[in-house]
Structure 1
Amino acid sequence: MTTQTTDTAVARDGDRRSWLKEHSELGVCALLLALGALVLTDALTMDVDIAQRGPVGPRTVPIVVGAGLLLIAALLAVDVLRGGRGQAEGGEDIDLSEPADWRTVLLLTGVFLGSAVLIEPLGFPVAGALLFWGAAFALGSRRVDRDPLIAAGLSLVTYTVFNNLLGVPLPGGPLMGVL
């Protein structure tokens, strides 16, 4: 391979990287496209009782959301390929030179996964309270006198609204038999 051929290959590789860097929002388009296809596939293959209660069945919202995701992915791709670029958020006070706060991210991830594991044996009110309290702690709140009470109240209100008012059954756990 000659030096000229090598230089041409490096220049093409640099042009490709430059083009990809200028059109990085196409990655978001690909993510939206994949998510829309997944939602539509799940909605269309969903097992549904034939006897539904009204004109809008359980497939309607997922189909609308999936189609919307596909439409937004296509419109965003067209905009990016025509030279459109997202603008940086002007109101954020973020110093991009600082590293990410991985401690907070890992704490939030642990709290979320812990509540997902505990929701079945302990019920939503207890697991939800632990989720809300753990999230507040991970995000910097250290008010141990107030945070557990707010978390318990928020969890009970959420449980009541979903379980009793919206008809979405949530696991009550052992405490719901006592209350």
Structure 2
Amino acid sequence: MTEQTTDTRPAAPTPRRSWLRDHSELGVCVLLLALGVLVLTDALTMDVDIGRRGPVGPRTVPVVVSCGLLLVAALLAVDVLRGGRGQAETGEDVDLSEPADWRTVLLLAGVFLGAAVLIEPLGFPLAGALLFWGAAFALGSRRTDRDPLVAAVLSLITYAVFNNLLGVPLPGGPLMGAL
């Protein structure tokens, strides 16, 4: 006679996920809500002379943007609470198993900070050209015959568009003072 044994060990506990982890997208909602409230508060407390402006003043765009942020935060929160979830990254050029490329990130941050420091003494055309050239280098371009020329043209076009067409004064530096 064979004796049957039954396994009376308790089943292994299944990993229990917390409610916040299951609804982590609510963090984005909170961020959007805070940003919307900040922009709305800043827009409504802006000190402007309304009498001299037309029907659309300097408060209009920030108020519209903040209302949009608040609306998106509310709609996203409702979707998340109803069980909606964001899709996982599926881009073909993104390998999530690879570590971050911190060298490129640090090079880009250094180029950006360098341009921010140099914009006042050198002016936007030169600092912008260094920014564009440095960004191209940090992202892997090694065309020293083409990249400086493209960076200079982009910088001059950007300077002309902002300074002359849009009326946003950018520092010209010694290069624009000589022209």
- Contact 2:50–2:57 (CA under 8 A) maintained in structure 1: no
Residue in structure 1 matched with residue 27 of structure 2 by the alignment: 27
Give CA deviations for 1:24-80 in whole Å, capped at 9, x if unaligned: 111111111111112112212222234434211111111111111111011101101
Distance (whole Å) between structure 2 residues aligned to residue 104 and residue 56 of structure 1: 42
Distance (whole Å) between structure 1 residues aligned to residue 138 and residue 82 of structure 2: 42
Residue in structure 2 matched with residue 4 of structure 1 by the alignment: none
Deviation of residue 89 (structure 1)?
4.2
Distance 1:98 1:27, change over 3 A: same
Deviation of residue 92 (structure 1)?
3.0
Q: Which moves more between the two structures, 97-106 or 85-94?
A: 85-94
Distance 1:51 1:157, change over 3 A: farther
Letter aligned with residue 63 of structure 1? V
Distance 1:24 1:110, change over 3 A: same
Distance (whole Å) between structure 2 residues aligned to residue 118 and residue 46 of structure 1: 31
Matched, 1:152 2:144: no
Distance 1:30 1:92, change over 3 A: farther
Q: % of aligned pairs identical? A: 86
TM-score, normalised relative to structure 2? 0.85
Runs of 4+ deviating beyond 4 Å? none
Deviation of residue 149 (structure 1)?
0.8
Give CA deviations for 1:121-177 in whole Å, capped at 9, x if unaligned: 221111111111111111111111111111110011011111111111111112111
Deviation of residue 91 (structure 1)?
3.8
- Secondary structure at the aligned position of 2:34 is classed as helix
- Secondary structure at the aligned position of 1:58 is classed as coil
TM-score, normalised relative to structure 1? 0.85
Residue in structure 1 matched with residue 177 of structure 2 by the alignment: 177
Question: Which one has a bigger Cα radius of gyration?
Answer: 2
Matched, 1:65 2:72: no
Distance 1:51 1:123, change over 3 A: farther
- Secondary structure at the aligned position of 1:168 is classed as coil
Structure with the larger helix share: 1
Q: Which moves more between the two structures, 155-164 or 84-93?
A: 84-93
Q: Cα RMSD between the aligned structures?
A: 1.8
Structure 1 spans left out of the alignment, 5+ residues? 1-10
Deviation of residue 22 (structure 1)?
1.6
- Contact 2:126–2:152 (CA under 8 A) maintained in structure 1: yes
Task: State how many pairs are aligned.
Answer: 166
Deviation of residue 85 (structure 1)?
0.9
Q: Which moves more between the two structures, 50-59 or 97-106?
A: 50-59
Matched, 1:40 2:37: no
Residue in structure 2 matched with residue 75 of structure 1 by the alignment: 75
Residue in structure 1 matched with residue 96 of structure 2 by the alignment: 96
Residue in structure 2 matched with residue 5 of structure 1 by the alignment: none
Distance (whole Å) between structure 1 residues aligned to residue 41 and residue 128 of structure 2: 30
Distance 1:92 1:46, change over 3 A: farther
Residue in structure 2 matched with residue 56 of structure 1 by the alignment: 56
